[in-house]
Amino acid sequence: MTNQTVGRPGLPADPRADVAEPSTSCPVEITLDALRGRWTTLIVRELLRHDHSFSELRQALPALSDKVLADRLAHLVRSQVVDRQREPGWPPRTRYTLTPHGRALGPVLQALWDWGSETPQPPARAATS
Amino acid sequence: MTNQTVGRPGLPADPRADVAEPSTSCPVEITLDALRGRWTTLIVRELLRHDHSFSELRQALPALSDKVLADRLAHLVRSQVVDRQREPGWPPRTRYTLTPHGRALGPVLQALWDWGSETPQPPARAATS
């Protein structure tokens, strides 16, 4: 765009890093979109620990409703983070695992964690959700 | 919580990593909250390049309205990412710079970028915003 964009530290040398407005093809937006929604990062955290059935996820996150869990899992499947696997046998069981790409969210969540844990507590933080 | 949480790779050994429901004091949520909102990451990108006046930010991101820019800057100031500095002299000018903590978002955005840029393009990605 301008020569101000050349050689700056910590920003990728990729034309997508120079977009002048929000774009769904921006890699940062793709990742934030995959993580969006209440509970999403907690579900990914559970699946980073080990794979789960639907009911095991409900047990690990007891305040999460079936509807929201199903919605978040469908979003994570669409975002190529989660794989849904039917297990053979009866009763029918589905296991949820992270895809290899989903597993690569580990360091991303770590980076998000590290920055947030170093955020000084403001004098009066309004509780927002 | 259970011994499944001990020694897992890539997750911090911190009691906040074991919360069973969304919490505004979770470090991951603090970071995602700082980055939330359309345009927010683009404004941080501009300020990672160099500090800006309000009108320079408007020039760098021409499709962004004054109202949304003012809103996003106020949010980033509250989130301790951006510092607002009155410059002496006339006409009054305000410069926006990243705080040291805001500057530390560089590696976080890089981690978000890296994951998103490795996300395989799905067959038909619905355009959402």
Please name which of A58, A61, A42, A110 lies closest in space to residue B13, comparing C-alpha atoms. A110
Please name which of A17, A15, A60 lies closest in space to residue A39, comparing C-alpha atoms. A60
pLDDT at B6 (0 to 100): 41
For residue B89, being part of any structural domain is answered with yes
For residue B14, being part of any structural domain is answered with no
A26-57, pLDDT tens digit by residue?
999 999 999 999 999 999 999 999 999 999 99
Please give the residue range of the domain that contains residue A79: 22-104
Compute CA distances A84 → A28, A32, A64, A81, B40, whole Å. Answer: 25, 22, 19, 10, 33
Compute CA distances B5 → A104, A119, B8, B13, B14, whole Å. Answer: 19, 25, 6, 9, 10
Residue of B nearest to A63 (CA): B21
Q: What six digits make up the tokens of B84?
A: 């607002």
Distance CA A34, CA A28 (A): 10
pLDDT at A85 (0 to 100): 93
- The pTM score is 0.84
For residue A82, being part of any structural domain is answered with yes
Distance CA B33, CA A32 (A): 11
For residue A17, being part of any structural domain is answered with no
For residue B6, being part of any structural domain is answered with no
Please name which of A33, A105, A18, A8 lies closest in space to residue B122, comparing C-alpha atoms. A33
Res. B1: pLDDT tops 80: no
For residue A11, being part of any structural domain is answered with no
Compute CA distances A16 → A26, A86, B38, B47, whole Å. Answer: 6, 38, 16, 17
A64-110, pLDDT tens digit by residue?
999 999 999 999 999 999 999 998 888 888 999 999 999 999 999 99
B102-121, pLDDT tens digit by residue?
999 999 999 999 999 999 87
pLDDT at A108 (0 to 100): 97
For residue A44, being part of any structural domain is answered with yes
Flag whether residue B39 sits within 8 Å of chain A, measured between CB atoms: yes
In chain A, residues with a C-beta closer than 8 Å to the C-beta of B7 are: none
Distance CA A107, CA B117 (A): 15
pLDDT at B15 (0 to 100): 82
pLDDT at A126 (0 to 100): 53
Complex ipTM: 0.84
pLDDT at B67 (0 to 100): 97
The alpha-carbon gap from B117 to the nearest alpha carbon of chain A, in Å, equals 5
Beta carbons of B64 and A112 less than 8 Å apart? no
Instruction: Write down the H helix ranges in B36-104.
Output: 40-49, 54-60, 66-78, 100-103
Distance CA B13, CA A61 (A): 19
Q: How many domains does chain A have?
A: 1
B23-36, pLDDT tens digit by residue?
999 999 999 999 99
Which of residues 77 through 106 in chain B touch A, CB cutoff 8 A? 78-80, 101, 104-106
Total Cβ atoms within 10 A of residue A28: 28
Name the residue with tokens 């020694």. Answer: B7
The CATH number for B33's domain is 1.10.10.10
Res. B76: pLDDT tops 70: yes
pLDDT at A69 (0 to 100): 97
Distance CA A128, CA B22 (A): 11
Res. B8: pLDDT tops 70: no
pLDDT at A12 (0 to 100): 58
pLDDT at A4 (0 to 100): 40
Region of poorest pLDDT, from A55-59, A111-115, B15-19, B21-25: B15-19
